[in-house]
Amino acid sequence: MLPSSPQVEKARVKDLNFYYGSVHILKNISLTIGEKQVTAVIGPSGCGKTTYLRCFNRMHDLYPGNRYEGEVILHPDYVNILSPTVDPIDIRMRISMVFQKPNPFPKSIFENVAYGLRVRGWTDRAVLDEKVEQALRRAVLWEEVKDRLTHPALTLSGGQQQRLCIARALAVEPEVILLDEPASALDPASTLRIEELVGGLKERYTIVIVTHNMQQAARVSDWTLFMLFGEVVEFGPTEKVFTTPDDKRTEDYVTGRFG
């Protein structure tokens, strides 16, 4: 087991390098992601946080010239999700992503949540109804929208739209949820609801969250990764990273001296 690693692993990152064309963005990242825990990724803008996150569901494959090196081994079947023989669509079914800005589809609330289920071939209306309700309940949105499921998703508030996007991700029962600064565009009340939601979801899911908000990282995560210039500066239990970090650069960043 790698130093400062969760006891129960969901994914192991080994010698991960990533290139945008000839530009070397991520450099020799090795660490483990704990199962049913929240791992926060922090660091200044441009340090590679989102690039790192998008490696987990092969989002970089959508653009030409990008290249991975190394491995990301997903448990329990020990598949290397970066292998060229692995179908990225299969990976995205197991690892869902929620983006910084809420991006509901121009469909009804119901059809937004049902979208991934329909892609997977689910057609039985009773089953869809059950799974949509279940996902909305897990996203703590059901009570707010249950009487207007046929209404356009874009009529929801920003905070509701983001929870809808989380429900859409949950509907396909992923193993891992990637959150890319999910509350950065929201007001404080909506941010609090997202944080509370993350705390509840880790009972069922493994979560990796990118955040620029140090207080948020300290509140919601079990483990914290601090990145700088595409490299791992420090990775460990969140309480330790924020109170007794091993690296002076970590201390300077989490206390606001730079970044």
CATH assignment of the domain containing 88: 3.40.50.300
In this structure, are strands 79-80 and 66-74 parallel, antiparallel, or unpaired? antiparallel
Residues linked to residue 250 through DSSP beta bridges, in sequence order: none
**Residue 52 in domain:** yes
Count: domains in the chain: 1
pLDDT score, position 185: 82
Structure tokens that stand for 248 in this block: 């002076």
User: Do 106 and 161 contact (CB within 8 A), yes or no?
Assistant: no
Structure tokens that stand for 176 in this block: 């891992």
Q: What is the dihedral angle through the alpha carbons of 79, 80, 82, 83, rounded to the nearest 10 degrees?
A: -90
**Residue 228 in domain:** yes
Confidence of residue 204 (pLDDT cuts 50, 70, 90): very high
Would the pLDDT of 103 be above 50?
yes
Distance CA 183, CA 16 (A): 27
pLDDT score, position 259: 61
- Helical residues (DSSP H) of 95-225, grouped into ranges: 109-119, 125-138, 142-145, 158-171, 188-201, 214-220
- Rounded to 5°, the CA angle 106-208-114 comes to 30
Structure tokens that stand for 193 in this block: 């609801």
Instruction: Report percent pLDDT > 70 for the chain.
Output: 98
Confidence of residue 1 (pLDDT cuts 50, 70, 90): very low
pLDDT score, position 258: 74
- Taking only the tens place, the pLDDT of each residue in 36-57 is 999 999 999 999 999 999 999 9
Confidence of residue 4 (pLDDT cuts 50, 70, 90): low
**Residue 144 in domain:** no
Q: Residue 227's closest CA among 50, 42, 86, 74?
A: 42
- Report the chain's mean pLDDT, rounded to a whole number: 94
**Residue 20 in domain:** yes
**Residue 58 in domain:** yes
**Residue 1 in domain:** no
- Taking only the tens place, the pLDDT of each residue in 110-158 is 999 999 999 989 999 999 999 999 999 999 999 999 999 999 999 999 9
Rounded to two decimals, what is the model's pTM?
0.93
Residue 232 DSSP class = E
- Range(s) of the domain holding residue 201: 9-100+176-254
Instruction: Report percent pLDDT > 90 for the chain.
Output: 90
**Residue 165 in domain:** no
Q: What is the average pLDDT across 226-238?
A: 97
Residues linked to residue 96 through DSSP beta bridges, in sequence order: 177
- Taking only the tens place, the pLDDT of each residue in 59-94 is 999 899 999 999 999 999 999 999 999 999 999 989
**Residue 89 in domain:** yes
- Rounded to 5°, the CA angle 208-113-48 comes to 25
